[in-house]
Amino acid sequence: MATDFRLKQQLPELTDQIVASYSDICSINHLGLCPLPKYEDVIFALEDLKEIMYPGYRRREKLHLANVTYHVGDLIDRLDDNLTTQIARALQHEERVATRVEPCDNGADATDYEAKARAMTLDFLRRIPEIRKVLATDVQAAYDGDPACKNKDEVIFCYPGLEAVTVHRLAHELYKIDVPFIPRMMAEWAHKQTGIDIHPGAEIGNHFFIDHGTGVVIGETCQIGNHVKLYQGVTLGALSFPTDSTGKLVRNVKRHPTLEDRVIIYASATVLGGKTVIGHDSVVGSSVWLTKSVGPHTTVTMEAPKLRMQPGLPEDLDAAANYQI
């Protein structure tokens, strides 16, 4: 097919119009000297971290006690460099948002960000042994809580709930030491991979198990105790979003519920509100909508729906529309 050069001649004008929109609509473009954290490098660091969390289950095979030190040492060295770079970029981004001035333009030295980022990275890496201890309890909880599970290897290889919780526990530690931006990038990657949405600010105790997992949402200010089990479609969300006198959202307040130890919440239940507390050893049934606290050892269920059954099958589509079970 011959190229219509008259159409091609319109492209420079179209390009100018698009570029002009970058000045008119500047809230959705990042143009400046200071780069943002690189998404691919953050996820690469996350994969290195998972390799350390579960050695022998991921990329590297034939690991044993004689060679694992070299393997982990190489990963740690790479993580130190990669995370330092990405955290430094995130710190610069945070200052840019706070001051509305490019850090590179206000006299700030890039080495200052790098030094702070390296200290944060080292602080985070020191937490890995404790993170692994908690993840071991999550693996055990999944094995104990699912009769279809044959062994713990199956949990580590196959369970999306563990994948999401693993990423969360790593992202949460970065969140706790005030690393900006990157914890949320990790959390949203896990959300995309698993269908499980856990804000990195949520506090989750040990022996945590999400069964099946798809559609689970856990908000930023949730506090979850030990030995808690959630099923698919559970929402732990905010009841409302308070605003200040100017109509802007009030941030940094508790908006999401608290679940005490040994709580079970079944599929598609919704628990909302920062003042809502589910007492220890309680059970919230499927499809429950709950906006107030319940005491310990409480079972909350919906009234069973009334079923209507009739023999035979509908003969046509009109009848099928009125066919109820």
**How is the chain split into domains, by residue range?**
22-195, 202-325
Class of domain 22-195 as given by CATH = mainly alpha
Tokens at 271, concatenated: 């628990």
pLDDT of amino acid 105: 55
What's residue 325's pLDDT?
42
Helices (H), the chain: 5-8, 11-24, 39-53, 68-99, 110-126, 128-145, 152-158, 160-176, 182-194, 317-321
The model's pLDDT over 255-280, given as tens digits with 9 standing for 90+, comes to: 999 999 999 999 999 999 999 999 99
Instruction: Using a cut of 0.85, tell me whether the model's pTM lies above it.
Output: yes
Query: Coil, helix or strand for 264?
Result: strand
Q: Specify the CATH number of the domain 202-325.
A: 2.160.10.10
CB neighbours of residue 165 within 10 Å: 27
Provide the 8-state DSSP code for 233. Answer: T
**55, 129 in Cβ contact below 8 A?**
no
The pLDDT value given to residue 323: 45
Give the chain's residues under pLDDT 50: 323-325
Rounded distance between C-alpha atoms, residue 118 and residue 79, angstroms: 11
What is the structure's pLDDT at 284?
Answer: 98
